[in-house]
């Protein structure tokens, strides 16, 4: 009997015992092609030796030194690496143990920034429906996933949500992408006016929506207009790139493709690629200088911030991405995977949309392609797909997106950047069988 409190205690999970490139092997010797990088984490696969060696070397030198007493070489080098490549204006980094902590940190930095400026009346964050920012209470408060929030609603910060930029479902047929982007970005302005702009701290958004919708990028111009509104009303823009950052979309930061820079940017998953638990919050010079020039210290902190071994692992991951030109590989394999998905599912009666960027791709399943009618959420089509894919030896990341009856089940694909051409075919083949079997099951 397991002593672990598993996410779904009724489910019996296979035991993962080994990794080999993009495959995970269980205790029975069965191989699973990791087409989702776990939850968009494992960008280098599961046995990348240079990263393992870098972690071992750091463990031999110094596993950990509390940041209340010391800085350390790996965290300084990793910060330098990230800031050298970061969007303009981001100048400092705070290293954490994961994505939720990174978002908590961003929220608190944002609040302290205005506190230092004497604008203590600012208390609201605006975020988007159908978003996910983590499971700690602050991150959950801004998240827009009703299923995750429901139990905790009474103890969450009040939330102010606007629509996501979700063209497949929300753009009207008569509307151009640009017009739709403007209309939906302007919801931010309307919410600011409703709340009173000088009561708002910032706007939080995933640059490309991951788990809740399944790899949904914004339409062109959306984030430019968002940035404009934030500047006009003096609020901060916080981009959550926990899932979409670190090369997943083909550029190191997903917002590089939007030609904007946020005031705070969070990343995690692909930062350490699963070799170590690590997240980061990148901070603009403006915010840093205001806090340092004010009370002088950020009122925050965790025991494992700037963890030397975690930073050494993440530095090796990031150096590998660069040394092996893996961003180019993301573009190349992402193109191949998109083309293969379109060929296999482009006319499928139950696949309404194929979308995403780089190796961050999503399929949305619909009962009826013409009307975009989602499947009944009670059928849990996404759970069938996950189960059947695992039977096939394929890891994919399905989600039931239905919120207000306006999103279908989806499958998120986020394979390691090192996948080969034949593995692209393996993903589509196995996914195809898993989807067909699942459709038969839910109709039975």
The answer to the question of residue 206 lying near ligand PLP (CB under 6 A) is yes
CB 385 within 8 A of CB 409: yes
The answer to the question of residue 103 lying near ligand PLP (CB under 6 A) is yes
Supply the minimum distance, in Å, between the C-beta of residue 103 and ligand PLP.
Answer: 6
The answer to the question of residue 211 lying near ligand PLP (CB under 6 A) is yes
Supply the minimum distance, in Å, between the C-beta of residue 245 and ligand PLP.
Answer: 9
Given the DSSP bridges, would you call strands 90-96 and 279-284 parallel, antiparallel or unpaired?
antiparallel
- Give the separation between CA 375 and CA 153, rounded to whole angstroms: 27
403-421 burial by CB neighbour count: b if 16+ within 10 A, else e? beeebbbbbbbbbbbbbee
The answer to the question of residue 253 lying near ligand PLP (CB under 6 A) is no
Residue 241, strand partner residues? 267
Question: Given the rule CB under 6 A, which of 82-90, 161-169, 217-225, 239-247 is the region that contacts ligand PLP?
Answer: 239-247
Q: Residue 240 or 426: which CB sits closer to ligand PLP? A: 240
The answer to the question of residue 55 lying near ligand PLP (CB under 6 A) is no
Question: What would the DSSP string read from start to end of 314-378?
Answer: HHHHHHHHHHTTHHHHHHHHHHHHHHHHHHHHTT-TTEEEEEEETTEEEEEE-SBTTTTBPPPGG
The answer to the question of residue 133 lying near ligand PLP (CB under 6 A) is yes
The answer to the question of residue 264 lying near ligand PLP (CB under 6 A) is no
Pick one of 43, 126, 184, 243: the residue that binds ligand PLP (CB under 6 A): 243
Supply the minimum distance, in Å, between the C-beta of residue 131 and ligand PLP.
Answer: 7
Supply the minimum distance, in Å, between the C-beta of residue 348 and ligand PLP.
Answer: 27
What are the φ and ψ backbone dihedral angles of 266, each rounded to 5 degrees?
-110, 145
- Give the separation between CA 74 and CA 238, rounded to whole angstroms: 26
Q: Residue 78 or 204: which CB sits closer to ligand PLP? A: 204
Mask of contacts with ligand PLP, 63-102, x by CB under 6 A?
-----------------------------------xxx--
Supply the minimum distance, in Å, between the C-beta of residue 425 and ligand PLP.
Answer: 28
Supply the minimum distance, in Å, between the C-beta of residue 406 and ligand PLP.
Answer: 20
- Give the separation between CA 360 and CA 417, rounded to whole angstroms: 10
Task: To the nearest 10°, report the CA torsion of 106, 112, 115, 121.
Answer: 40
Pick one of 107, 242, 316, 414: the residue that binds ligand PLP (CB under 6 A): 242
Supply the minimum distance, in Å, between the C-beta of residue 244 and ligand PLP.
Answer: 7
Using only the alpha carbons of the chain, give its radius of gyration.
21
Supply the minimum distance, in Å, between the C-beta of residue 87 and ligand PLP.
Answer: 17
By Cβ distance, which residue is nearest to ligand PLP?
A: 99
Q: How many residues bind ligand PLP (CB under 6 A)?
A: 15
Question: What would the DSSP string read from start to end of 145-196?
Answer: -HHHHGGGGGGSPP-EEE----HHHHS-TTS-HHHHHHHHHHHHHHHHHHH-
Question: Given the rule CB under 6 A, which of 54-62, 110-118, 121-129, 204-212 is the region that contacts ligand PLP?
Answer: 204-212
20's torsion region: left (phi>0), alpha (psi -120 to 50) or beta?
beta
DSSP 8-state class, residue 276: B
Q: Residue 156 or 425: which CB sits closer to ligand PLP? A: 156
Pick one of 268, 280, 316, 321: the residue that binds ligand PLP (CB under 6 A): 268
Supply the minimum distance, in Å, between the C-beta of residue 100 and ligand PLP.
Answer: 3
Q: Which two tokens stand for residue 334?
A: 């992402």
- Give the separation between CA 273 and CA 324, rounded to whole angstroms: 15
Supply the minimum distance, in Å, between the C-beta of residue 242 and ligand PLP.
Answer: 3
Contacts of 168 (CB under 8 A, 6+ apart): 216, 352, 353, 355, 364, 372
Question: Given the rule CB under 6 A, which of 57-65, 128-136, 296-304, 374-382 is the region that contacts ligand PLP?
Answer: 128-136
CB 311 within 8 A of CB 59: no
Residues at the site binding ligand PLP, with contacts judged by CB under 6 A: 39, 98-100, 103, 132-134, 206, 210-211, 240, 242-243, 268
């Amino acid at each position: 009997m397991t002593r672990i409190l598993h996410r779904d205690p009724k489910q019996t999970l296979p035991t993962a015992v080994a990794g080999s490139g993009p495959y995970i092997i269980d205790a029975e010797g069965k191989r699973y092609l990791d087409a989702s990088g776990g939850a968009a984490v494992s960008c280098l696969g599961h046995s990348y030796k240079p990263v393992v060696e870098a972690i071992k070397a750091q463990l031999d030198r110094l596993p950990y030194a509390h940041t209340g007493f010391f800085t350390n070489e790996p965290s300084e080098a990793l910060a330098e690496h990230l800031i050298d490549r970061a969007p303009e204006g981001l100048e400092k980094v705070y290293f954490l143990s994961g994505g939720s902590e990174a978002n908590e940190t961003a929220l608190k930095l944002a609040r302290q920034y205005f506190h230092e400026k004497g604008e203590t009346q600012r208390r609201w964050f605006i975020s988007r429906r159908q978003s996910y920012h983590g499971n700690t209470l602050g991150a959950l408060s801004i998240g827009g996933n009703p299923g995750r929030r429901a139990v905790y609603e009474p103890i969450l910060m009040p939330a102010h949500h606007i629509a996501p930029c979700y063209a497949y479902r929300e753009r009207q047929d008569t509307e151009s992408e640009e017009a739709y982007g403007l209309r939906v970005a302007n919801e931010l302005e309307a919410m600011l006016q409703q709340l009173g702009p000088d009561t708002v701290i910032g706007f939080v958004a995933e640059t490309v929506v991951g788990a809740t919708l399944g790899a949904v990028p914004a339409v062109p111009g959306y984030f430019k207009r968002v940035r404009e509104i934030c500047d006009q009303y003096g609020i901060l823009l916080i981009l959550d790139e926990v899932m979409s950052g670190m090369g997943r979309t083909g550029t190191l930061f997903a917002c590089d493709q939007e030609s904007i820079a946020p005031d705070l940017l969070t990343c995690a998953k692909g930062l350490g690629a699963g070799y170590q638990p690590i997240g980061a919050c990148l901070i603009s010079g403006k915010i840093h200088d205001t806090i340092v020039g004010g009370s002088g210290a950020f009122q925050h902190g965790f025991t494992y911030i700037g963890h030397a071994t975690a930073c050494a692992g993440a530095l090796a991951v990031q150096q590998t991405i660069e040394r092996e030109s893996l961003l180019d590989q993301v573009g190349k394999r992402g193109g191949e995977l998109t083309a293969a998905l379109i060929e296999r599912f482009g006319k499928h009666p139950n696949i309404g949309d194929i979308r995403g960027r780089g190796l961050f791709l999503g399929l949305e399943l619909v009962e009826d392609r013409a009307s975009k009618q989602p499947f009944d959420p009670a059928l849990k089509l996404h759970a069938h797909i996950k189960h059947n894919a695992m039977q096939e030896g394929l890891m994919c990341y399905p989600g039931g997106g239905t919120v207000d009856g306006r999103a279908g089940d989806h499958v998120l694909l986020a394979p390691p950047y090192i996948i080969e051409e034949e593995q692209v075919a393996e993903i589509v083949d196995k996914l195809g069988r898993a989807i067909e079997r699942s459709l038969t099951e839910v109709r039975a």
